[in-house]
Chain A
Amino acid sequence: MSHDAFITDAEIEPTGSGPLDGRTVAVKDNISTAGVRTTCGSAMLEEYVPPYDATVVERLKEAGATVVGKTNMDEFGMGTTTETSAFGPTENPAAEGRVPGGSSGGSAAAVAAGDADLALGSDTGGSVRCPAAFCGVVGIKPTYGLVSRYGLVAYANSLEQIGPLAPTVEEAAELLDVIAGDDDRDATTREPPEGLPESYADAADGDVEGLTVGVPTELLEGADEGVRETFEAALEDLRDQGVTTEEVSLPSVETAVQAYYVIAMSEASSNLARFDGVRYGPATEAEGDWNEAFAAVREAGFGEEVKRRILLGTYALSAGYHDKYYKQAQDARAWVEQDFDSAFESVDVLASPTMPVPPFEMGESLADPLQMYLADANTVPVNLANLPAVSVPAGETDEGPVGLQLVGPAFGEETIIRAGSALA
């Protein structure tokens, strides 16, 4: 475990027997585990020990899995590199000296290094798919509502889903089979319109004959040359297996990153208001009234990226700016949804590079938050539209692995799993 993939080592025994018998699973440290501390990568929760399990953790244990640790992450899920954790950065086992991607970088690194058979991450704007791509493993972001968020420490409720990471598409789908499904403790979950399939893993049969894959031109434009060549070669591989590809246009994605950050920061500013140091959090010596003590705890407990997003979110929701930022971001979100709907009238899935760049060198990107936000251009539209997507390894450049992202219509997990399994 030399890549600092874990914040806390654990051995949480199974409570039942099932499809995950004998398998080890690493769990991102923003997913609650009863009796095992859950820090969200933050000094604010350094000593926090949840009194209950997240629904997904309960389901893992019932299915026979052993949870082997809580994985490192960007603080509260806010980042693209797993360098903003209060517990230090994780290194990419597939490209040493480089970041594993974020924010579920510890989970992807644990799988890539063989420290766990499988892992759970959470994906608010690409946080499962980005580290999957950078670490050369598979990551699935499920349709919003397919997987319970009960026990996930919320950052941006309307965007985030818990998702599986694994060496292959089939194994990721096996983990999805275990965690998917309605939960009466989370009112945002729902069954797929046609009901849950018997098995997502069965869809990983590699049979892509006759499938139509759309390639959004806008998501290729900004990509690094090496990434683009690797992506094109993977598409050629799919064509050799009977896939038809065609160019499609998604004009709305040009404003998706802006909309994503306005919405995510706004939700974060509201969500993170609960961290006031009273029910949990670090004890401080601050004198003064509630507001002064509250502000002092939050200064001590939150890292810089978290403060940046809380402040920008507060700004975007404040009087005079709500209509300019938050309302327009919601309009942009509706536009993105409509664009995807139109695209799926003519194609089965959409393909793009997961990340427009190869893995960053460690420390390279911390100084310029705006540049960091731009790296999420290909993943955030999927969260805005509540759709499912998978990142599968497409090959490598000199600078590290490249991921290929496949996006499907809502509750179309079987289609993206089938298509992805033709590659990994």
Chain B
Amino acid sequence: MTADEDAGDSATVDEAEVRHVASLARVNLDEAEVERFAGQFADILEYFEALDDVPDVDADAELANVMRPDEVREGLTQEEALRNAPETEDGRFKGPRVS
């Protein structure tokens, strides 16, 4: 199935799909949550289908670049920046291994 065909059939969200999105979002779920979300997502995504009826609108985006001079300012001290970290080592954040 291509992505487009899949998109046209979006109201059928199964548990495998919930688990897949959860893995993309890096959020573990327990089995009860997977089951609940599958039912709820079907309803919510079906409700979002109404967006198909939105007419074409000329969006006149009033965007302006907001720039300021690139000047050195006072920032957090190293101690302040590290204060909330669960684990630090030698003045650095300590995280899990990457792979």
Q: Which residues of A contact B (CB under 8 A)?
A: 47-49, 51-52, 184, 187-188, 252, 254-255, 258-259, 261-262, 269, 273, 276-283, 286, 288-296, 298-299, 302, 304, 307-308, 310-312, 314-316, 318-321, 323-325, 328-332, 334-335, 338, 369-370, 373
Nearest CB on A from B46, distance (A): 9
Nearest CB on B from A346, distance (A): 20
B18 touches A51 (CB 8 A): no
Nearest CB on A from B2, distance (A): 8
Residue numbers in A under 8 Å from B97 (CB-CB): 289-290
Residue numbers in B under 8 Å from A334 (CB-CB): 57-59
B54 touches A278 (CB 8 A): no
B21 touches A331 (CB 8 A): no
Closest B residue to A331 by beta carbon equals: B54
B21 touches A318 (CB 8 A): yes
Closest A residue to B96 by beta carbon equals: A293
Contact of A51 among B22, B50, B56, B80 (CB under 8 A): B80
Size of the B side of the interface (Cβ < 8 Å), in residues, is 53
Please, could you name 11 A-B residue pairs with CB atoms under 8 Å apart, sorted by A?
A51-B80, A280-B86, A289-B98, A290-B95, A294-B26, A299-B28, A312-B44, A314-B24, A320-B2, A324-B7, A335-B55
Closest B residue to A320 by beta carbon equals: B3
Closest A residue to B52 by beta carbon equals: A328
Contact of B85 among A280, A311, A312, A320 (CB under 8 A): A280
Nearest CB on A from B72, distance (A): 14
Nearest CB on B from A272, distance (A): 9
B56 touches A278 (CB 8 A): no
The answer for the CA separation of A105 and B80 in the assembled complex, in Å, is 31
Q: Which residues of B contact A (CB under 8 A)?
A: 2-4, 6-7, 10, 18, 21-30, 33, 37, 40-41, 43-45, 47-48, 50-59, 66, 68, 76, 80-81, 83-87, 93-99
Residue numbers in A under 8 Å from B6 (CB-CB): 320
The answer for the CA separation of A277 and B87 in the assembled complex, in Å, is 9
The answer for the CA separation of A143 and B82 in the assembled complex, in Å, is 35
Closest B residue to A328 by beta carbon equals: B51
B47 touches A370 (CB 8 A): yes
A307 touches B29 (CB 8 A): yes
Nearest CB on A from B61, distance (A): 8
The answer for the CA separation of A314 and B18 in the assembled complex, in Å, is 11
The answer for the CA separation of A262 and B81 in the assembled complex, in Å, is 33
The answer for the CA separation of A286 and B86 in the assembled complex, in Å, is 13
Residue numbers in A under 8 Å from B25 (CB-CB): 269, 310-311, 314
The answer for the CA separation of A278 and B92 in the assembled complex, in Å, is 10
Residue numbers in A under 8 Å from B86 (CB-CB): 277-278, 280-283
Residue numbers in A under 8 Å from B43 (CB-CB): 370
The answer for the CA separation of A291 and B86 in the assembled complex, in Å, is 17
A279 touches B93 (CB 8 A): yes
Residue numbers in B under 8 Å from A304 (CB-CB): 33
A51 touches B81 (CB 8 A): yes
Residue numbers in B under 8 Å from A310 (CB-CB): 25, 27
A283 touches B40 (CB 8 A): no
A51 touches B47 (CB 8 A): no
Nearest CB on B from A106, distance (A): 22
Residue numbers in A under 8 Å from B18 (CB-CB): 311
Contact flag A320-B48 (CB < 8 Å), given A51-B81, A331-B54? no
The answer for the CA separation of A335 and B76 in the assembled complex, in Å, is 42
B84 touches A47 (CB 8 A): yes
The answer for the CA separation of A255 and B43 in the assembled complex, in Å, is 16
Most chain A beta-carbon contacts within 10 A, residue among B27, B80, B84, B93: B27
Nearest CB on A from B16, distance (A): 13
